[in-house]
Amino acid sequence: MQPAPVSKYRPFPSVNLPGRQWPDRTLTHAPLWCSVDLRDGNQALAQPMSVDEKLEYFDLLVKVGFKEIEIGFPSASQIEFDFCRRLIDENRIPAGVAIQVLCQCREDLITRSLEALRGARHAIFHLYNSTSPKQREYVFNATRADIVRIATDAVGFLRKSMAPLVDAGTRLQLEYSPESFTSTELEFSLEICEAVSDVWSPTAENKIILNLPATVEYATPNVHADQIEWMCRHLTRRDRTVVSLHTHNDRGTGVAATELALLAGADRVEGTLFGNGERTGNLDLVTVALNLYTHGIHPGLDLSDINGIREVYERCTKLEVPVRQPYAGELVFTAFSGSHQDAIKKSWPHQKEGRPWDVLYIPIDPADIGRSYKAIIRINSQSGKGGVAYILENSHGLTLPKLMHKEIGRIINDVADAKGTELTSEQIYAVFQQEYLERTSPLTLQHFKTTERDSEVTCEASVVLDGRLHQLVAQGNGPIDAFVRALGSTTLPKFAVLSYAEHSLGQGAEARAVSYIQIKTARGLVLFGAGIDTNIELASIKAVVSALNRALAR
């Protein structure tokens, strides 16, 4: 990097836009969506999709609900041409879905693209040419007038040449892109868009699409919004124009730039699923759509099976959705932080049917997009008591007393820290079993029976302590009290029961009982024990034995 002061780069110029309106607006409805996965996305793949993969991907886009799909560049190669023909000839395009083709402003390419579209019900013909000062200087060595002439000549040729197609029943809509719009002088962008519109003569029934692409993202999102609002203010045929966005992600702010530009007045958004595209990628349509959904605006796209969409995407593109990708990534509904886990666990029970979604740290109900609740909390050495308790309750049915959360959280954290890795739900339960349910030393319960008379319970118990068998008998006001009194005749340290909790585990004939006992020893050690049995009384006695064995192990 260049040391300060940095002279190699310069700030992007701001837009003179007094009284800008977009900062005070709120999004209220979804835009028109256009997927460019099969063109922009496909051209960015190291291994472009095969025809069969493109057909499957097209079907996916239709299923999700896209009404405008850019299918390719049919004048660029025979494969692209043949793909377009297969969609039309095999009647794969549902009514209400428009296919879009990209074409440079050259007569031979326009003619070839029109051939590819024969028989289409509704097609969008996307013409483009570069307009920025450096493109004009470095690439074309052309004046502004030259660049305008390239665009208007192409549109005029298209109007003349498309007549047979239109006469045969095709609805043909024009999309024009001044490529590198965001790097082009605004007044020149307006000039060329107006000139194109003059030649095309759009109507209220067949509007022109003016696509204003951030071909390379150079500016901050607020500048992009200013550029879009400036254009919306100055277009003379605004009521006959669909203002379209096509943002890239070079600065990592493609989503923000799109959302602010929608506030600025844009009507339509082009992008790809999960942001596949050149360099850092195109706009991620899934993120923008679900961002709208989390604000109570239905995007008009069906993303309820995000896992299925992701599976087709990854298989056809040979790419992987990053684990932190919004909404679709493997880890986006997980919480490793202990405080986050605790907050999620505490807020989840307050979520009621019909109330706005308000679970802490999770901005969307995972179930709405086909994700699983089970993956919300995963445990490593950074996790806390709330997360561990959540896993044990939701995956294994163990509703631990609140006072026990800290104890089990510390145990699990120690194990995760020793392993240096994340613990699965099964590993967490295995630790719980080993720590609480499987301890048989130094105290082992062999037999336990109670009888009740005049509100007093008598227990008879056989226990093995340090290898010696003890036959115990004692009375108390309940089974636990009687058993504690019976153990007082052994060499076990004195202890008191501080708390007791129980609940059923499962239903019907297979149901078992779970008991949790908290004890305090004469030395002041406070800890829990747990027991499981088909007999609730025996489960509580096992919990006492568990607590004592844990105390003696200390």
Judged by DSSP in three states, 451 sits in strand
Q: Tell me what the mean pLDDT of segment 190-215 comes to.
A: 97
Which of 278-282, 342-346, 387-391, 418-422 ranks highest by mean pLDDT? 278-282
Displacement of CA 258 from its chain's centroid (Å):
18
Residue with tokens 């190291």: 46
d(CA 426, CA 444): 26
Q: What is the pLDDT of residues 393-402, one digit of tens each?
A: 988 999 999 8
Confidence of residue 492 (pLDDT cuts 50, 70, 90): very high
pLDDT, the chain, mean? 94
State pTM to two decimals. 0.80
d(CA 442, CA 439): 8
Q: Tell me what the mean pLDDT of segment 258-272 comes to.
A: 98
Q: Which of 17-26, 328-337, 378-387, 434-443 is predicted least confidently?
A: 378-387
Above 60 in pLDDT, residue 92?
A: yes
Confidence of residue 509 (pLDDT cuts 50, 70, 90): confident
Q: Which of 193-197, 319-323, 514-518 is predicted least confidently?
A: 319-323
- One of 3.90.1720.10, 1.10.150.120, 3.30.160.270, 3.90.79.10 is the CATH number of 443-504+512-553, namely 3.30.160.270
- Read off the tokens for 214: 């951030």
Confidence of residue 28 (pLDDT cuts 50, 70, 90): very high
How far is CA 111 from each of CA 79, 101, 106, 116, 460, rounded to the nearest angstrom?
Answer: 17, 12, 9, 9, 98
Above 80 in pLDDT, residue 67?
A: yes
pLDDT at 379: 77
Confidence of residue 377 (pLDDT cuts 50, 70, 90): low
Confidence of residue 341 (pLDDT cuts 50, 70, 90): confident
Above 70 in pLDDT, residue 41?
A: yes
Listed in sequence order, the residues at least 6 apart from 432 whose beta carbon sits closer than 8 Å to its beta carbon are: 392, 396, 398, 408, 530
d(CA 41, CA 353): 39
pLDDT at 554: 83
Q: What is the pLDDT of residues 101-132, one digit of tens each?
A: 999 999 999 999 999 999 999 999 999 999 99
* pLDDT over 70 percentage in the chain: 99
d(CA 310, CA 172): 32
Beta strands (DSSP E) in 14-118 are 32-35, 68-72, 98-104
Q: Tell me what the mean pLDDT of segment 35-60 comes to.
A: 96
Q: Tell me what the mean pLDDT of segment 438-463 comes to.
A: 94
Residue with tokens 């069969």: 52
Contact of 127 with 176, CB cutoff 8 Å: yes
Q: What is the pLDDT of residues 516-529, one digit of tens each?
A: 999 999 999 999 99
* pLDDT over 90 percentage in the chain: 87
Above 80 in pLDDT, residue 369?
A: yes
Q: Tell me what the mean pLDDT of segment 455-468 comes to.
A: 94
How far is CA 39 from each of CA 252, 278, 385, 494, rounded to the nearest angstrom?
Answer: 21, 11, 49, 77
Above 60 in pLDDT, residue 438?
A: yes
The ranges of the chain annotated as CATH 3.30.160.270 are: 443-504+512-553
Confidence of residue 334 (pLDDT cuts 50, 70, 90): confident
Confidence of residue 345 (pLDDT cuts 50, 70, 90): confident
Q: Tell me what the mean pLDDT of segment 56-62 comes to.
A: 98
Above 60 in pLDDT, residue 405?
A: yes
Q: What is the pLDDT of residues 155-171, one digit of tens each?
A: 999 999 999 999 999 99
pLDDT at 340: 86
Select the more confidently predicted residue: 352 or 460. 460
Above 70 in pLDDT, residue 375?
A: no
Q: Which of 247-256, 338-347, 440-449, 488-497 is predicted least confidently?
A: 338-347
The ranges of the chain annotated as CATH 3.20.20.70 are: 34-317
What superfamily does domain 34-317 belong to in CATH? Aldolase class I (3.20.20.70)
d(CA 221, CA 270): 16
d(CA 370, CA 306): 6
Contact of 534 with 512, CB cutoff 8 Å: yes
